[in-house]
Structure 1
Amino acid sequence: MKTTLRTKFILPLYLVAGLTLAGCHSKNSSYQGPITKPNTVETAAKTPGGVSDPKVNILFVVDNSGSMKRYQEKLSRNMKLFADQFFSNPRIDYKIGVVPVYDSKYLNDKTVYPKNGVRKMNPLGELVKLKGLDPAADQNQVYITRQTKNAKEVLQATVAIGVQWGPEAEESYSPVIAVMDPKINAEKNQNFYDPEAYLAIIFLTDADDVTPSLSADEFYSKLYAAKGNKSSKILIAAALPNIRNRSSECTTDGRGPVQSFPKLLARSGGIFADLCSKNFGNHLASFAKKLAERVASQKIKLGFTPDIDSLEVTYGTETSLPQDRVIIPRGPDGYTFDVENNIVIISSELNIERVENGQIFVKGVEADLANLQDGRTQQEE
């Protein structure tokens, strides 16, 4: 269902709960205390995370060693399928960046090789500049946002970062840890990383990770800790050649990703996107769909126990009149209510036009649990 609004952006999300205390009547009321008269209270509190739109950082970790040219091109060609799935949800507030792999083993190798010269290395954890930006845009930007014009085309161009003579002992994990570092984040990456946001990582490589002193389990544990021990906030995919495919079109660097990446995908529940498969693009699209569904579904914890039938969930600005707000319907395309945990769940399928300074409002009558347990349903006269 698509619902139109009058304006265009969505910012911090607040929960507004109108609470009305209801009394009731019982045949045994002479043995019970007096029923409290209704008292309408309105409160406002920030929801967990303090924002209206769900946020996600999407990080592509791209191997730019000499063997990766055709794999980068394949990723780039198929990014449209990823983008079509992910960008279709207008509510997700995303930052998308690309970082090269790292090589600490040969970082200081100054040997001049007869064929290739001196190795060229990228700094650890620094996002590459975006490609294909609008000429009027700042050309120094390092990540895509909802404000980026032609975001699909920019993403498609940027993931093909090019190859170079340099990385040989490829580290895919260490750049991710570096991207999360507060100093690098602020000084080099224009505050790409948001500790409160979801984190989605897509690896592209034909080699296994060899980050020193960091196993797949240890790497995932660092991500898990960084996200407040919430595995739901971490999504991982790896675009890798199938090591069982020995064709000339499915080459690997050395033995390929034989240990570390399989362990990481098993630990994280991640998606393996087979670079040698004709369905590679569909694998990317599946990950994008999973990502959008995970991020866009929001849970709003209520500070009161509502009478379920009285719940009203609406969308508008803080200054809008209640009658001018858009009603979010109850159901699979709107919201559902988790009675056991007292949570309003906004569906990932909710399709609404963003409104500037928009908020989601939840209003309801507080259930008088004591009176309900006593069987009293009407107020005493």
Structure 2
Amino acid sequence: MKQLIALCIYASALMLVAACSPESSGIMAQQPEVAPPTVEIPQYEHVEEQKFTWITEDGGQSQLDFNPQVDILFVTDNSESMKSAQENLLRNLDRFTNGINKNAMIDYHIGVISTWDSSDRFARTKKDSYQIGELRYIKDSKSQSYNKRYVTKKEKSILSATLNIGVAPYAQGGPEDEEFFAPLTAALEKSGRGGTNEGFFRPDAQLVVVFMTDADEFKNSRISTEQMARTLLDFKGGKAKKLAVYGVLVKAKDADENKDWALRIHPKYNPQCFDMNLKTPKNNGTCTGFGPEKLEELIVLANEEKGSPESIKSKYIVGIVNKNFGDDLARIGSDITKKTLAKEIFLSQRPRVDGNGVLQVRVRYGTAAELNAGRGQIIPNKVAGGWAYDPENNSVRLGGDVEYKYQENARFAVDLIPLTLAQ
């Protein structure tokens, strides 16, 4: 009975809904259709595509000039023990000079000073007239001297002869306790106006020092390695990139006959290696050989921003008795050339990067007339043989291995699209 009553109520509800719906005729008139609202699309002024303008860095900036200069000072041991080493040097020296001379870009000064001995004996008996730290006069292959103390590109044919200073035997007043730091310091001090070495060292030039010896700095030297390294760095205004020190040296493992007496296992110079209580001192077997420790330490200190101590030694020190001595000298010459040709140009504005990620910078090399006309040699944007951008310094770094088409008085132009300049 309850189910029947519920069914009747449900049916009555359905009839009531049907009667009230718009579709039911006679109950309510049919409603008209309503049109959707009109949407107005806003009109904007047409924006032209943005264009950027290339500019050229101020051509009057001296940093765009390119006059790569290097002053190379050889500090050469002319003691008697160097006779065989100098003969080896002469056989291979052309490998170095050819490497320097083949690049017309390099404006070099090359000079040589000899080692020193502060003993009274040396002062009394030395035969030549050169004072401590004085550059030697240049000379040709016939030993004819000229009234000039360093070689430039104009005298390149006599470079090898100039670097051949020979040896001074001990009996004829040659040095015994070789000093290198004292004459090097004196050479720097004598470079001012009116000094013996005036004109050799130039403020903006790279300074390269090359020690050539089978010995080491005198063990009782009044100048420490730290002082010598500081003196060299101060001389270049604290600019470590402007300084490089090389060594053409003996090594601890080399045979005694190739070394200066002070580096040999000899009772006079190294008594700790012998039983000195005997009438004839006997080798006690505790010493394995000595090398130029002070010179090696100086080379590491002077080049310390260029790598670890071991990597510096492997790159900046070559063996004076090595069979590949000529190749090593050629490598030094090539290394000096690359350091001299490397250049950094600081930009006045930051360059834009296009939609493809390409930096909007162009570097050109040539004469002022060529550059002003928009021409010149285009230097590629690549690490090897070109240039790279340094975002930290906002600068262009040119490697020392760029193959320039050399021209006298050539310079650089840097074209760029700045971040802030658009039309």
TM-score by length of 2: 0.68
Distance 1:133 1:344, change over 3 A: farther
Note the alpha carbon deviations across 1:254-285, whole angstroms, 9 max, x for none: 22654311322332335222122212222222
Equivalents in 1 of 2:56, 2:96: separation in Å?
A: 46
The offset of 1:97, in angstroms, is: 0.8
Aligned match for 2:252, one of 234, 239, 243:
243
Equivalents in 2 of 1:198, 1:140: separation in Å?
A: 25
Equivalents in 1 of 2:84, 2:193: separation in Å?
A: 30
Distance 1:280 1:232, change over 3 A: same
Please state if 1:300 is matched with 2:345.
yes
What amino acid is aligned across from residue 46 of structure 1 in structure 2? Q
Aligned match for 1:263, one of 292, 297, 304:
297
Equivalents in 2 of 1:342, 1:196: separation in Å?
A: 22
**What does residue 260 of structure 2 align with?**
252
Aligned match for 2:412, one of 356, 360, 370:
360
**What does residue 128 of structure 1 align with?**
136
Distance 1:39 1:219, change over 3 A: closer
**What does residue 152 of structure 2 align with?**
145
Equivalents in 1 of 2:297, 2:73: separation in Å?
A: 20
Aligned match for 2:162, one of 144, 158, 180:
158
Aligned match for 2:331, one of 283, 286, 289:
286
Equivalents in 2 of 1:109, 1:265: separation in Å?
A: 29
Q: Which has the larger radius of gyration?
A: 2
The offset of 1:167, in angstroms, is: 1.8
Question: Map of 1:160-309 to 2, 5 A cutoff?
Answer: 160-164=164-168, 165-181=173-189, 183=191, 186-210=194-218, 212-246=221-255, 248=257, 250-255=258-263, 257-267=291-301, 268=303, 269-270=312-313, 271-307=316-352, 309=359
**What does residue 390 of structure 2 align with?**
338
Note the alpha carbon deviations across 1:284-323, whole angstroms, 9 max, x for none: 2222222222221111111111225432221222234424
C-alpha contact 1:47 1:301 (8 A) present in aligned 2:
no
SS class of match (1:204) = strand
More helix by share: 2
**What does residue 328 of structure 1 align with?**
379
**What does residue 87 of structure 2 align with?**
73
TM-score by length of 1: 0.75
C-alpha contact 1:133 1:149 (8 A) present in aligned 2:
no
Equivalents in 2 of 1:265, 1:325: separation in Å?
A: 40
Note the alpha carbon deviations across 1:172-224, whole angstroms, 9 max, x for none: 12222222225567432241111322111111122221274211121011112
The offset of 1:38, in angstroms, is: 7.0
Distance 1:36 1:146, change over 3 A: same
Note the alpha carbon deviations across 1:46-69, whole angstroms, 9 max, x for none: 345x85122111111111122222
Distance 1:87 1:184, change over 3 A: same
Equivalents in 2 of 1:319, 1:107: separation in Å?
A: 62
C-alpha contact 1:185 1:193 (8 A) present in aligned 2:
no
Equivalents in 2 of 1:39, 1:353: separation in Å?
A: 25
**What does residue 314 of structure 1 align with?**
364
SS class of match (2:83) = helix
Distance 1:134 1:146, change over 3 A: farther
**What does residue 349 of structure 1 align with?**
401
SS class of match (1:208) = coil
C-alpha contact 1:206 1:241 (8 A) present in aligned 2:
yes
| CA RMSD across the alignment | 3.2
C-alpha contact 2:345 2:396 (8 A) present in aligned 1:
yes
Note the alpha carbon deviations across 1:217-237, whole angstroms, 9 max, x for none: 210111122223232222122
Equivalents in 1 of 2:193, 2:212: separation in Å?
A: 22
Equivalents in 2 of 1:286, 1:37: separation in Å?
A: 46
Equivalents in 2 of 1:107, 1:319: separation in Å?
A: 62
Aligned match for 2:58, one of 37, 40, 43:
43
Equivalents in 2 of 1:107, 1:311: separation in Å?
A: 64
Distance 1:176 1:51, change over 3 A: farther
The offset of 1:92, in angstroms, is: 2.1
For structure 1, the 5+ residue unaligned runs are 1-28, 111-117, 370-377
C-alpha contact 1:334 1:346 (8 A) present in aligned 2:
yes
C-alpha contact 1:328 1:335 (8 A) present in aligned 2:
yes
Distance 1:297 1:258, change over 3 A: closer
What amino acid is aligned across from residue 326 of structure 1 in structure 2? Q
Distance 1:85 1:323, change over 3 A: same
Equivalents in 2 of 1:324, 1:313: separation in Å?
A: 11
Note the alpha carbon deviations across 1:72-131, whole angstroms, 9 max, x for none: 221121112223333333322211111111222237743xxxxxxx33253111111222
Aligned length: 326
Equivalents in 2 of 1:38, 1:95: separation in Å?
A: 43
Distance 1:341 1:226, change over 3 A: same
Distance 1:128 1:53, change over 3 A: same
SS class of match (1:69) = helix
Equivalents in 1 of 2:207, 2:56: separation in Å?
A: 38
Distance 1:119 1:145, change over 3 A: closer
For structure 2, the 5+ residue unaligned runs are 1-43, 265-290, 304-311, 354-358
Distance 1:65 1:367, change over 3 A: same
